[in-house]
Structure 1
Amino acid sequence: MTTEGKPGYGPGMRDMKKICLIDSPVTLKAAFEELGCEVLALNGSPEPFLALDETLAERGFAPDLVMQVESLGPRCLVTGLDGLDCPALLWCIDPHLNGYWHGAYARLFDLTCSTQLASVPVLRQRGARDVRWLPTFGHGSASPDHAARAWDAAFVGRLTAERPARTWMVRLLEERCAGYALAVRQGLTFGAMMDLYRDARIIPNQSILGEVNFRLFEGASCGCLVLSEALGEEQETLFAPGREFDTYGDAVELDEKLTMYLKNPRLTQAMGRAARERVLAEHTALHRARRILEWARDAVDGRARGRDADLWTALTAAAMQEGGVIGISAGEALARLAGCGCDPATADIFADVACAILRVQAVDGKTGPMASTMDALLAVGMCADSPGVNLTGSMAALRLGRFDAARAFWYRHVKAMGISNPGQPDTPAALLTLWARDLSRRGRVVRAGFAFDPAVHLPDSAVECLLALLADQPEHLPTLRLLDAMLRPLPGLSQLRVGFLSVLTLHERKEWRLALELALASLRACRLASGLDELALARTLARSQGQDSAFARALAVGDRSGLLAARLGA
C-alpha cells in the first residue's frame, strides 16, 4: 500500500494493454494501437486543470498506464493521479524551456522522460525522481529523389524580434542561395511543412537554447540533408555527422558548407537517404512507444499522493502562473498554495511554498500582501537557513524599497551557509551582485526559458539578479562583464551576448579581447558580415599592441573548423 491508503504496484507486474494518453500526438497514439494497445486519448487543453480520476470514471476506462505528453500550446495540469493504481509517466518535450516548472510537476509522476539528454540531471536536481532520456521521433514519410525536388533549401520557423539569430540566419541563407531556389515559410501546418520538406534538398537548422529539436527529425524523415548547429555528443548519438547530417559552429562554417552542398545534389541525396534510413531504423513513434511500455512495466510507485500531490500541484501552478504559461490568475495560484495546509515544521516544503507565495504576489503587483509575507519570514527567523527563502525575501524587500530588510536576508544567508568574506552590500547594486555571484557558485546561473522581466518578477538566478541591476543602470560596465562571463559557456545565448558585448566595446574600444568575443558571438549567432568586420577589427587592435600571437591563440579556441582564420587571411 502507498501513502493515503491508495494501492501501489510493483516492477514487472503490469501487462500494458490499456493506455491513457493526454495531449499526445496522433502518431504516438497510432503506434500504441499498432502494438495492440487500447488507447484512450484525452486533450487536457484548453482548461488549465484536468481531473483525470473523474474523467476516467465517466469514460469507464481503467488504464494500465497513464502518460501525459507536454503540450506546446496551452498547458494543462493533471490532477487525480494519486488515486490511480497504474504507472504515470510524464514526457517533457521542452525541458530546456520549461524546466523551471517541470521539476515540481514531475513529483506527480512515477517516471519522467526528457527529450533532451542534457536536461536529465537538471530535472533530477529539481526534484524529479526517475528521469530518462527519450528523444522525440521522426515519421515514415515519403522521400522523392532530390533531382525531382523544387527547392534547393527550405526553412520553416517563426521570425520574431525575440529570436534575432534566426532572422540573421535567414538573411545569410538568402544571400548564399542567390541563384538557387530557397523557401522560407512561417505559420505552416505540420502537413504543409512536411510537404515542403519532401520537396526540398537541404534544411538549415538552428536551435533556441542548444537543444536537439524537432526540425532535425522532421527533415531527416523526408530524406533531406539537415545542416544543424554543432551540439555535441547528444545530437551525434542520434545521427552520424558527415554521413546522415552535417553541422556548423558559426556563420562562416554554415556559409561554406551551404555553398558546398548546394553544388552537390548527389551528396545531399546520399546523406538525406541515410538520415531517413536512420529514422526508420531507430527514431519512429513505434520505437518510442515500445520503449515507453518497457519502462512502464518496471516503473516503481514513487509519485506524490494525497496532500503531497496537492502541494506539488500548487507549486507547479504557481511557477507556471509566474511564468505566464497557464491560464490561471495570481489569486487562484495563491489560493491553491494556501490550501495545501503546509506545516512550518516541514522546513524544506514550507520554504518552497513561502518562496512561491512571494513570487506570485510580486507578479500580482500587490505590495501589501508581499510585505506582510516578507515581514513574517524575517521577524521570527522563519526558514533562516533556506537559501531560497533568503534570496526571495531579499529580492522582495528590494522591490518594496526596503534595503535594510534586503540586507538582513542576505546576512541570514551568509550565516546559514558559513560564507567567509561575504562582502558588504552598501547599495542595492552591490547586493544584487553578491547574490549573483553566490547563485553562480551554486550552479543557478539561469532559469532557462523563463521570460524574466525585472519590473514584474523577483530574480531567481544569477543572470536575473544582474538583469535587475542593469534595468536601473543599463551601461554598468562591471555588471556587463560579469554577465557575459556567466553566459559565455552556455549554449544558445550568443544573440544575447552580442548586445552586452556591443555596449562594452563602445566603452572599451582598445580591448581586442572584447572585440574578439563580440566577433565570435556574432558569428555564432549567424551575423556573417558584422562578425567578420568585428573579427578584422579585433586583429587590428591586437596587432597595434604587439599581440598577434596572443590573438591567434585566442581565435583558435573559438574556431573549431579553422575557417575563421582562413577567411580572415594574412
Structure 2
Amino acid sequence: MNELLLINCSSNLVQAFLDLGCIVESLHVRDREINVPAKLAELEFDPDVIIQQESLGRRVLLRGLHELDCIKVFWSIDTHMNLYWHGHYGDLFDCVLTTQKKYVPKLKNICGAVVKWVPWMANTPAVTGRFEVLPHTRREFDMTFVGRVTDQRRSRGWFINFLKLNYKVNLVEGLTYPEMMDIYGKTCIVPNEALFGEVNFRLFEAAACGCAVVTPNVSDELEELFEVGREIEVYNDALELKENLDRLWQKPALSGAMGLAAYERVLKDHLPRSRAESILRIVKDINKHRVGAGRAELKLCLSEFLLGEGGDPHVNWDVLLKRLLSLVKSEERDAALLRIFARSEEKYLFMEMVRPYLENRLCSTDCYFNMTASLCALKLDMWEVAKHFWYAYRIDDSHESIAKPEDNVHLLLLWGDSALKCGIDIRPGVAFDEIKGIPSCASDCYFAALHLNPSDNDIYRRLDSLFRGVTGAEPNRLGFLSHLSLHFPDDWRVSAEVGITSLKVFRLQEGLTELANARESAVRAGKERFFKRKMEMEVPSYLNYLN
C-alpha cells in the first residue's frame, strides 16, 4: 500500500505520506465530477490506494471508482453537517473515515463501506517549529475567540455576548489561516463553541499553539484525544464555562501549564504524520466493497440530488433528471424523482410514476418511500393520493389501529410519528423550508405541521421531545419551550427545561432567573425534591451555584 492518489488532501497530510516513504500523486480539484480512471490514465499512475478528503467548499464527486481494483477511501470531515449525503456517497468507497467518532455507527447503518474513526489533526505551523511557542506570561491576549457571528447561528451570538459581558475577550473574524495561528500564539485562553456537538478544528488549532482550551463536553471521544482537566477543560453549560474560565483567568500559571500540556499532546498524537500512519494501518486490512456500474451511478445521482435539495447551487437539475430516468427502477431512484416532480409541479409525470401503486400493481413497505410519495402528493394538492400511500404503508396493521388522516396537519403528524419510529428523525445541515419544502424526516413533518397550525401545543411538545438532547438544536428547543411556558406558566417542569436550555445556549442570567421561578413553582406544588433531583442529574453546576 505504498502508491497513493490523494485528492483534495491538506498539504501537511500529503507531506506526511511522503515523509513515510509513500509514492504520491496529489490532486487539488474544484470540478464537480472527476472521472478517476481517465485521470489515472492521463497521469500514467496505478495507485494502491485512492484517498479523497472532503472539500468544505465546492463539492467534488468521483466517477468511475467501481472500475478500479485499488482500495478507495473517503475522509468525511464535516460528518455532523453532511451525513444526509455522505451515506450514499460513501457507498462508492471501500472505507469511509469520519472525524467524529459518535457518527461511526450512524454511517455504518446507511453505508456499505467499512467505517473508521480518524480525528482531525493539528494541521498548523505551530508544530513545525517555524515560530516560538510563548509562555503565557509573555502572551498579549488573555482570551481570544476566532469565528464568524451570523443571524443564522443564534447560539454563537449568545456565546459571544456571554464572553463580552464577563471578560475582556479579543474577538476576531475573517482572518487568513496564518493570521489566525499568529493570534492563537499570542493568546492564553481559547473558549470553544461547537455547531452540532462536533469535535471541531478550533480545538486542535488552539491546542497546537499552546492555548488553554475550554471546549464543549461533546462526547467521550474528547477524553481519547486530550486528558480533561490537565490538557483541556470541558463544560456542559454556561455556569461550568464561567467556572472554568474564571479559574484559568485568575491563575495564569494554571492556564500556562494546561496550554503546554495540550501542545505536548499535539506533538505526540495529533500531527499529520500520526493521521497518515493511522490511515495506512487501516487500509492494510480493508476488504474491497464491490459496487456495480448501475449501483455506482445511482449513488452518484442520489448524492447529487441530496446536495441539490440541501441548497447546493452547482446541481444541474436537467442533467440529473436525465441520469435518474436512465437508471433501473428502484425505490431510492423513484423517491428522488417524485420529489423532483413535486417541487417542479409536474403533476402528469408524478401521476405516471405513482399510478402502478394506486392500481395496486406495485406496493412498498418502506417508510421513507411511502412518506415521500404521500407528502409529494400533498404538495400537489392530491389529497386522495396522499392518503393512499399512508394506508399502503400501514397495510399489514389491523384496520382498527390505523389512524385515518383528517386533514393536512394530521397527515403530517402521522408521518412525523412514523418516521421517528423508523429512525428518520432529523437532518442536520439542511434548513427545511416550511412553505416550499417537502418533508424528508420527522422534524420536517412537525415543522410543516406547525407552519399550518402555529397554535397547536401538541406539535410544540413533539418538537421539544424530538430535539431534547440533540446538541446544536438548543436554540430551536428554547423557542418551543418558551411557547409552552406561556401556556403552562405554573408547570415547574417546563420552566426548568427553559432554564436548563438557556444555560446551554449561554443565556446565563435568563437561565438562572427561569430556574429560580421553576424552583418556586416546584415548592408550591410540593415537588421541590423532584426539582432538586432534576438539577443533580442535568445541571449539577446550578446546585453548586446556589451553595
TM-score (norm 2): 0.95
Conserved? CA contact 1:321–1:360, under 8 Å: no
The 8 Å contact of residues 374 and 397 in structure 1, kept in 2 or not, is answered as no
Structure 2 Cα separation of the partners of residues 39 and 326 of structure 1: 33
- Is 1:87–1:296's contact at 8 Å kept on the other side of the alignment? yes
AA of the residue aligned to 2:338: L
- 2:96 is aligned to 112
Q: Which moved more, 1:366-375 or 1:406-415?
A: 366-375
> What is the CA deviation profile of residues 293-343 of structure 1, one whole-angstrom value per residue up to 9, with x for unaligned ones?
222222222142322211211111111111123611322222221122x14
CA deviations 1:442-471 (Å, max 9, x no partner) are: 222111222221223321211111011011
Q: Which amino acid aligns with 1:424?
A: K
| Aligned: 1:388 with 2:368 | yes
1:147 has 2:137 as partner:
yes
- Pair 1:34 & 2:19 matched: yes
Task: Give the structure 2 partner of residue 22 of structure 1.
Answer: 7
Q: Is the 8 Å Cα contact of residues 81 and 88 (structure 1) preserved in structure 2?
A: yes
Is the 1:96–1:449 Cα contact (8 Å) retained in structure 2? yes
Quote how far apart the aligned CAs of 1:365 are.
5.0
Q: Indicate if the aligned counterparts of 2:36 and 2:65 stay in contact, CA closer than 8 A.
A: yes
- CA distance change for structure 1 residues 303 and 157 in 2, over 3 Å: closer, same or farther? farther
Residue 29 of structure 1 deviates from its aligned partner by: 0.7
| 1:354 counterpart = 2:334 | yes
Structure 2, unpaired ranges of 5+? none
One-letter amino acid of the structure 1 residue matched with residue 401 of structure 2: N
Q: Does 1:235 align with 2:213?
A: no
Distance change (3 Å), C-alpha of 1:108 and 1:277: same
Per-residue Cα deviation, 1:43-87 (whole angstroms, up to 9, x for no partner): 231x21111221222222222211110011110101021222311
Aligned CA distance change for structure 1 residues 418 and 444 (closer, same or farther; 3 Å): farther
CA distance in 1 between partners of 2:276 and 2:434 (Å): 42
Rate the CA distance shift 1:442–1:250 in 2: closer, same or farther, 3 A.
Answer: same
**Contact 2:367-2:419 within 8 A present in 1 as well:** no
* Displacement of 1:547: 2.5
Partner Cα separation in structure 2 for residue 324 and residue 48 of structure 1: 15
- In the alignment, which residue of structure 1 is the partner of 2:289? 302
Structure 1 residues 120 and 371: alpha-carbon distance in aligned structure 2, compared to 1, 3 A threshold: same
Moved more, 418-427 or 467-476: 418-427
1:469 to 428, 449, 452: 449
The one of 259, 284, 290 aligned to 1:272: 259
Q: 2:39 aligns with which of 48, 55, 65?
A: 55
- Pairwise CA distance, 1:420: 7.3
> For residue 79 of structure 1, what is the aligned residue in structure 2?
63
2:180 to 173, 193, 211: 193
Q: d(CA) in 2 for partners of 1:174 and 1:88?
A: 47
Instruction: Give the aligned length.
Output: 541
1:550 corresponding residue in structure 2 = 530
**Aligned-residue identity in percent:** 35
Q: Map 1:245-324 to 2 at 5 A.
A: 245-324=232-311
How big is each residue's C-alpha offset from its partner over 1:145-179, in whole Å with a ceiling of 9 and x where there is no partner?
111111111111111111111111111111111xx
Aligned: 1:218 with 2:205: yes
Q: CA RMSD in A?
A: 1.8
Aligned match of 2:468: 488
Structure-2 change in CA distance of 1:409 and 1:510 (3 Å): same
What is aligned with 1:347?
none
- Aligned AA (1:500): F
Distance 2:365 2:398 in 1: 10
Separation in structure 1 between the aligned mates of residue 436 and residue 3 of structure 2, nearest angstrom: 45
Counterparts in 2 of 1:523 and 1:371: CA distance versus 1, 3 Å: farther
The 8 Å contact of residues 374 and 396 in structure 1, kept in 2 or not, is answered as no
Verify: 1:96 aligned to 2:76, yes or no: no
Inter-partner Cα distance in structure 2 for 1:236 and 1:420: 51
Distance 1:262-1:306 versus aligned 2 partners, 3 A rule: same
Shift of 1:513: 0.8
Q: What amino acid maps onto 1:288 in structure 2?
A: R
Report what 1:566 is aligned to: 544
Query: Residue 394 of structure 2: SS of its match in structure 1?
Result: helix
In the alignment, the residues of structure 2 paired with residue 232 and residue 68 of structure 1 have an alpha-carbon distance, to the nearest angstrom, of 26
- Give SS of 2:156's match: helix
Q: How has the CA–CA distance of structure 1 residues 413 and 197 changed in structure 2, closer, same or farther, with 3 Å as cutoff? A: same
Q: State the match for 2:500 in structure 1.
A: 520
Shift in alpha-carbon separation, 1:128–1:449, aligned structure 2, 3 A: farther
C-alpha displacement at 1:363, in angstroms? 4.0
| 2:468 aligned partner, one-letter code | R
Distance between the aligned counterparts of 1:424 and 1:407, measured in 2? 8
Q: In the TM superposition, what whole-angstrom CA distance separates every residue of 1:340-392 from its partner, at most 9, and x where no partner exists?
A: 2x14xxxxxx0111111122334445454344434454334434222221110
Instruction: Give the Cα separation in 2 of the matches to 1:367 and 1:518.
Output: 44
Structure 2 residue 412 is matched with structure 1 residue 427: no
Amino acid at match of 1:160: T
TM-superposed deviation, 1:416: 4.4
* CA–CA separation in structure 1 for the residues paired with 2:301 and 2:107: 18
- SS at the partner of 1:424? coil
Closer/same/farther in 2, CA of residues 336 and 326 from structure 1, 3 Å limit: farther
Residue 40 of structure 1: CA displacement?
A: 1.8
Distance 1:209 1:373, change over 3 A: same
Q: Per the alignment, in what secondary structure is the counterpart of residue 512 of structure 2?
A: helix
Letter in 2 for 1:501: L
For 1:369 and 1:187, the matched residues in 2 are separated by 47
Alignment partners' CA distance in 2, 1:232 and 1:493 = 16
Task: Return the TM-score normalized by structure 1.
Answer: 0.91
Question: Does the residue aligned with 2:5 lie in a helix, a strand or coil?
Answer: strand
Distance between the aligned counterparts of 1:112 and 1:362, measured in 2? 33
